[in-house]
Amino acid sequence: MTSFRPAPAWLADAVFYQIYPQSFADSNGDGIGDFDGITAHLDHLAWLGVNTVWLNPCFVSPFGDAGYDVADYLDVAPRYGSSDDLARLVDEAGRHGIRVLLDLVAGHTSDQHPWFRAAMDDPADDRYIWAPEGSPDGFVPSPGTRPGAYLPNFFAFQPALNFGYGRTHPAEPWRGPVDSEGPRANRAELRRVMDHWLGLGLSGFRVDMAASLVKDDPGKKETAAIWTELRHWLDGTHPDAVLLSEWGEPEVSVPAGFHADFFLQFGGPTDGLALRSLWSNGEGTVNEAWDPLDCFFDAEGRGSPRPFVEAWRGAASTLGEDGFIALPTSNHDFSRLNCGPRTAGQLPAAFAFQLTWPTLPAIYYGDEIGMRHLPGLPGKEGSVLGPRYNRAGSRTPMQWDAGPNAGFSTAPADRLYLPLDPSPDRPTVAAQLADDTSLLHLVRRLIALRAGTPELGPGGSVEVVHAGYPFVYVRGGRYLVVVNPRREQASCRYDGAEGGRPLEATGIRIDAGTISARGFGYGIFELA
């Protein structure tokens, strides 16, 4: 394996918090969240104990895909404020002990990006992938004077940047090699973009569709080579910065050069299984083939933690000390933690698991108060990907308090980016702050416990004692964790827990070699 500089020390202690900027806090009453809104709520994040925020794309964009269609990588979208506002956010965050990561959309641009505007009229330009008239499936007819068609990376308006093909073929001239001029220029641009933001005090990037760069790339060999090159460059120029991939295969992405990779809901068949979205829109199972297994965090108790544990073990043993696996509660592409088979009652157990498993936790904004996934919303900025896959449900405005628009915005309700959860008992930060038995307080205590207990972090050992209901494991030979996310009580045998001191526990009894957990019970004990 290529040797990289070890990840910056701060990463092992990272507790990520993902902010979808459209929906977090609107400071100027236009109905859309913005930088100043985030800055105004840094106290909340610091109080909660998260220390690394990542923002979905906040760059100039026509917003056909919520900003994942970038039209200028070096400037921010005016609707979020100015570059100075972002600089102030980063600065203030630093004062609160919080680092900020941006989203690097590496594989494609918007069709409005000047690079593409130039390419569509210039047959000599190879920054994108162009095929002649009568080109293969999947290509999109040229919108300019250049004949032929271009290859999109996701939506049709997101032309794939040309990083070359893993396999070239003389009869298919669009399969260019990875070292030609276009790919070299694109790699140089990635460095330029990173350099720009890191120079302004950002701490790294979540990298969008990181596996997508080189096309027809068996084993992702050439794509990995690009990230390896970028990591070496980063190690030399910005050694304190991190790259976190949206790849979903840490055993491939971390050896390639990423410091961490998400265990996502759409990776291999066992990926992200413990928390994964069995339901993506709250209306039905998205795709049986995609999601063939029951979720462990299912109140009916049909799942098992085993597929997750095995997948994690496989990835973690490949990684060793070389990088990390990040475990998100959910994200802007998948249903929230509080959705479908995962009811509000289970959320404490889900957080007790997420914050004590040897991964880097990533909390999606609002999951810390158990915001609900809202099914059936109208599509917004590319949120609808199919009849049964609507991402809008996990992108609704943050619920701050009991005021108008839940404190998210002073705009008229019909001008909000997306509608709020209409239920009268929707959870809010203010209500949960006032109640120390709330989920919010629990999440805060769990983060603090983790911060003060190195054995609970990503480096400590884990011994699985019972991979079922309840799920029981020991961290660092000293901390027993019991999690029962089903409605029914559950118990198992374990000698050695007697006399354990509860650090955080609800509904767990340890007696005569038996651990009993009430429905939705959870506990963390320091063993005698």
Where does this chain bind Ca ion (CB under 5 A)? 26, 28, 30, 32, 34
Number of residues that bind ligand GLC (CB under 6 A): 9
- Distances, alpha carbon 527 to alpha carbons 82, 285, 459, 477, 524, in Å: 52, 41, 19, 8, 9
Our CA angle for 442, 90, 250, nearest 5°, is 65
- x/- letters, 11..50, toward ligand GLC (CB under 6 A): ----------------------------------------
Cβ-based neighbour number of residue 337 at 10 Å: 29
CB under 5 to 8 A by kind: which of Ca ion, ligand GLC, none does 333 bind?
ligand GLC
Q: Which of 36, 65, 367, 455 binds ligand GLC (CB under 6 A)?
A: 65
CB under 5 to 8 A by kind: which of Ca ion, ligand GLC, none does 26 bind?
Ca ion
Cβ-based neighbour number of residue 126 at 10 Å: 19
CB of 246 to ligand GLC, least distance (A): 6
Give, as ranges, the residues between 408 and 427 that touch ligand GLC (CB under 6 A): none
Q: How many residues does the chain have?
A: 528
Distance CA 355, CA 348 (A): 11
Say whether residue 504 binds ligand GLC (CB under 6 A): no
CB under 5 to 8 A by kind: which of ligand GLC, Ca ion, none does 455 bind?
none
Residue 387 identity: P
Say whether residue 231 binds ligand GLC (CB under 6 A): no
CB under 5 to 8 A by kind: which of Ca ion, ligand GLC, none does 34 bind?
Ca ion
CB of 385 to ligand GLC, least distance (A): 8
Burial 45-78 (b: 16+ CB within 10 A, else e): beebbbbbbbbbbbbbbbbbbbbbbbbebeebbe
Say whether residue 174 binds ligand GLC (CB under 6 A): no
For Ca ion, the closer of residues 28 and 168 by Cβ is 28
Distance CA 417, CA 424 (A): 20
Give, as ranges, the residues between 242 and 301 that touch ligand GLC (CB under 6 A): 246
CB under 5 to 8 A by kind: which of ligand GLC, Ca ion, none does 32 bind?
Ca ion
- x/- letters, 140..169, toward ligand GLC (CB under 6 A): --------------x---------------
Our CA angle for 406, 407, 413, nearest 5°, is 65
| Pair 13, 457: CB distance under 8 Å | yes
For ligand GLC, the closer of residues 87 and 385 by Cβ is 385
Helix (H) / strand (E) containing 119: helix 114-119
Distance CA 97, CA 49 (A): 9
- x/- letters, 100..119, toward ligand GLC (CB under 6 A): -----x--------------
CB under 5 to 8 A by kind: which of Ca ion, ligand GLC, none does 36 bind?
none
Per the rule left: phi > 0, alpha: psi between -120 and 50, beta: everything else, 204 is left
CB under 5 to 8 A by kind: which of Ca ion, ligand GLC, none does 28 bind?
Ca ion
For ligand GLC, the closer of residues 56 and 203 by Cβ is 56
Question: What is the three-class DSSP state of 428?
Answer: coil
Strands 360-364, 16-19: pairing is parallel
Cβ-based neighbour number of residue 192 at 10 Å: 11
Distance CA 214, CA 487 (A): 46
Q: Which of 59, 68, 163, 247 binds ligand GLC (CB under 6 A)?
A: 68
Which residue, among 240, 324, 252, 313, has the nearest Cα to 12 in the 3D structure? 324
Say whether residue 525 binds ligand GLC (CB under 6 A): no
CB of 264 to ligand GLC, least distance (A): 9
CB of 179 to ligand GLC, least distance (A): 25
- Could you list the residues that contact ligand GLC (CB under 6 A)? 65, 68, 105, 154, 208-209, 246, 332-333
